[in-house]
Structure 1
Amino acid sequence: MNIPERHFDLNDPAFIRNPYPLLAELRQETPVFFEPTWNKVFFARYDDIAAILRDRRFGRSITHILSRDELGWPPPDPRQAAFDHFQDHHLLDAEPPRHTRLRSLVTKAFTPRRVEELRSRVEGIVARSLDRLGEHQQFDLVADVAEELPVTVIAELLGVPEEDRHRLRPWSADIVKLYELGFTPEDQLRANTAVLDFSAYLRALAAERRARPRDDLISALVQVEEQGERLSEDELIGTGILLLNAGHEASVNGTVAGVLALMRRREAWDTLAQAAKADGPPSLLFRSAVEELLRFDSPLPMFERWVLDDTEVGGAVLERGMEVALLYASGNRDPGKFERADDLILTREPNAHLTFGLGIHYCLGAPLARLEMQIALHALAWRFPKLQLADETASVPYGKGFVIRGIQQLMVRPD
């Protein structure tokens, strides 16, 4: 193998807090390297990452062309059987032709019109959250604002009754722990239990919608059909779980990281606050600001792909069956692609960031995440133009994983 070897601790708390100095070093010194602990080839430069995402010789799964024995994998772990079953029945890890079929069916139900119809609902959720906080001397942007929005919106979209919505966030938080590298047996148990519980809930909800359809996504997914093809029950349940997991992680982490970046760059926040007072709905400035915030501090900073056929990228010879790790957060700060890449430029144009991916696996929920972030950012800037960190000197607490990198608490003051 002609690839340099380098040790790289993704779960180092110091790296998770601020990965960008090391990512800059990797781009410069070893933009492609093999990490033996994780048995993956890492890519740090934008052009290499973009090329892999667009290349059909790389896929989200490998077992459709190589068996577990051929890959040298151990037997499936029964402690995560339900999680693995869920993974096998949603489009994120599927490859053509199955991916083509699933995405076509889900797209027919998860339409741009359905997302746009949620605009007033999103505005109402944000307004109510901020109304409750108006008299507070300080509040937690994570728990009091950012977490409620995407979970409520996904629940509204799916058709989950209000009295059941408190169950969604804990389920999702437990499930996504298995996407991190180095998860524990306790993480496995919680994730597997959450999949079982959420699957049972969605199965009952789907049965109810078959009998009495409503104007929600579960009803649409139950009914959707194309050229005689329909979603199986397992595929419907997998889609529902995936929408919750992907929908809330990107939106929560992106919103909170974005506000933190703005709080540390007062001039940028003041620009948005002035723009919020000058117009009604979010303007073009807020749209470009959200894109820049998603580039500047990526909420999902790493994704993986399998090598489906022998190939070469960035001078590295890759063999079928190898796994590559794509450092989106590094690519999004690559000065070879973005001028002044380490600066936050709210009007940056063009802004071809990697945050939602590229190619056939481009994020299906990207329009919804953008809508939520634009509305939340506009409402915060309009309602709290003097918003600031409650303690400028306090360390910001991050979660334990880098793959889904999120701030756990961000205390802010309205003025």
Structure 2
Amino acid sequence: MAPLDLTDPAVVADPYPAFAAARAVAPVQWHEDLGLWLAFTHAESNAVLRDRRLGRIWRDREPADRFGAFNLIHRNALLEMEPPDHTRLRRLVSAAFARGHVERLRPWVERYAAELADGLVERSGGSEPVDVLSGMAEELPVGVIAELLGVPAADRPLLRPWSNAIVKMYEYGRTAEVEDAAERAAAEFVAYLRELAAERRRAPGEDLLTHLVTVRDAEGGRLTEDELVTTCILLLNAGHEATVNVSGNGLVALLEHRDQLGRLRADPALLPTAVEELMRFDSPLQLFERTATADVELGGATVRAGEKVAALLGAANRDPAVFADPDTLDVGRTDNPHVSFGAGVHFCIGAPLARVELQASFGALLTRTRDLQLARPARRRPEFVIRGLTELPVVLTP
């Protein structure tokens, strides 16, 4: 019997009771339908993320001629590489990031978050529900990544639809229509970024894309054209998808735990720990796969070379062996080694920027409102792997 059904609407809506039940059976279990091992505990998930014998081994989607652009943006991605290729590429990308881009953007992010929050509060006026997801949670991270890369304002509405279509390929039980849409989006995104990169070569700026175009390492190496394009797409897809979903999931969690919302409003200094807790409490990414390059003993199971194993990040983040009262939201939780940003060599390179965005977003909403109330239940996306919402109707009282 499979440890859990990832397509069950009840599991998609709230996977945490199913995780707890499965964790009580064994820390690592084989899922016949998915053809991979699942790690349900923090220790085993952490091992999946850190053990160098468990790698990200990219295999092109078949047929290759149907998924040309989708394969290109993964074959050359940091997330799908192992050392030494990963080491070289991460060093180059980190060098470009190290030019102060996060701190450069911090005031801009805070101003933009305030502007979006003001607009929502004005439209709501304490009586009308407004969709905080489309009005702020989606707008802020897309705007930030676009500003980071130097995407012109007129082109920014293109980015989220491309990203949304591409990440649906990571779900189970996809339709042919979903796959075709992902390939179209990848092809359009690649073509757009090739053109934008060419423009930066002609007219450099102070944005991250310019620095990615020009960065070199100590040996004089630089990003290939495909690596450059792929890195930009990864920053958008991984960066904004996670931030959007932490914003949505986190606000719902606060609205359903009014004591913690009040505590955070009364003590804004808790904002940094609150953001970490919201990431732990309802993880934006639930599952991350690895492939064994050698036989690995894991949680009493043997993962054979060539087999896949997945860390269930949401299950790891609710493991009672690591987190006291794991099903309790505690915005002051300080002992919080959550794995929502990953771990090991693939730890999220955009984590510092994500934290800036999330603190700005929640801070702006709390400082500009006296009260927040769900107008009706939030609508959740029907997918398991990328955990998020499609609508978050809230009444904001100035």
TM-score range with shorter-chain normalisation?
A: over 0.9
Q: Aligned letter for 2:26? A: T
1:414 counterpart residue number: 396
Q: Aligned letter for 2:95? A: K
- 1:141 to partner: Cα distance: 1.2
Is 1:286 matched with 2:294? no
Is 1:91 matched with 2:100? no
In structure 1, C-alpha distance between the alignment counterparts of 2:258 and 2:379, rounded to whole Å: 21
* 1:317-341 residue CA offsets vs partner (Å, 9 max, x unmatched): 1111000111110010000011111
- 1:348 to partner: Cα distance: 1.1
- Paired residue secondary structure (2:363): helix
Is 1:248 matched with 2:240? yes
Conserved 8 A contact 1:62-1:321: no
- Paired residue secondary structure (1:336): coil
Inter-CA distance 219–112: structure 2 relative to 1 (3 Å threshold): closer
In structure 2, C-alpha distance between the alignment counterparts of 1:76 and 1:56, rounded to whole Å: 29
- 1:195 to partner: Cα distance: 0.9
TM-score with structure 1 setting the length: 0.92
Give the gaps of 5 or more residues in structure 1. 69-73, 277-282
In structure 2, C-alpha distance between the alignment counterparts of 1:42 and 1:156, rounded to whole Å: 38
Conserved 8 A contact 2:58-2:74: no
Give the gaps of 5 or more residues in structure 2. none
In structure 2, C-alpha distance between the alignment counterparts of 1:336 and 1:163, rounded to whole Å: 49
Is 1:139 matched with 2:120? no
In structure 2, C-alpha distance between the alignment counterparts of 1:132 and 1:62, rounded to whole Å: 43
RMSD: 1.4
2:183 counterpart residue number: 192
- 1:9 to partner: Cα distance: 1.7
* 1:113-163 residue CA offsets vs partner (Å, 9 max, x unmatched): 211111111111111112212232221111111000000000000010001
Structure 2 matches for 1:261-340, cutoff 5 A?
Answer: 261-276=253-268, 283=269, 285-340=270-325
1:280 counterpart residue number: none
In structure 2, C-alpha distance between the alignment counterparts of 1:57 and 1:204, rounded to whole Å: 38
2:55 counterpart residue number: 59
Structure 2 matches for 1:90-109, cutoff 5 A?
Answer: 90-109=77-96
Is 1:398 matched with 2:389? no
Conserved 8 A contact 1:32-1:41: yes
In structure 2, C-alpha distance between the alignment counterparts of 1:238 and 1:8, rounded to whole Å: 33
1:71 counterpart residue number: none
Is 1:24 matched with 2:20? yes
- 1:112 to partner: Cα distance: 7.1
- Paired residue secondary structure (2:232): helix
Greater CA drift, 244-253 or 267-276: 267-276
2:159 counterpart residue number: 168
The size of the alignment, in residue pairs, is 392
In structure 1, C-alpha distance between the alignment counterparts of 2:303 and 2:185, rounded to whole Å: 36
- Paired residue secondary structure (2:389): coil
> Out of 244, 249, 261, which is 1:257 matched to?
249
In structure 2, C-alpha distance between the alignment counterparts of 1:333 and 1:165, rounded to whole Å: 36
* 1:145-183 residue CA offsets vs partner (Å, 9 max, x unmatched): 100000000000001000111100111011111111222
Inter-CA distance 75–397: structure 2 relative to 1 (3 Å threshold): closer
1:224 counterpart residue number: 215
2:10 counterpart residue number: 14
In structure 1, C-alpha distance between the alignment counterparts of 2:385 and 2:99, rounded to whole Å: 28
Is 1:183 matched with 2:174? yes
In structure 2, C-alpha distance between the alignment counterparts of 1:201 and 1:7, rounded to whole Å: 42
In structure 1, C-alpha distance between the alignment counterparts of 2:340 and 2:276, rounded to whole Å: 9
Aligned-residue sequence identity (percent) comes to 47
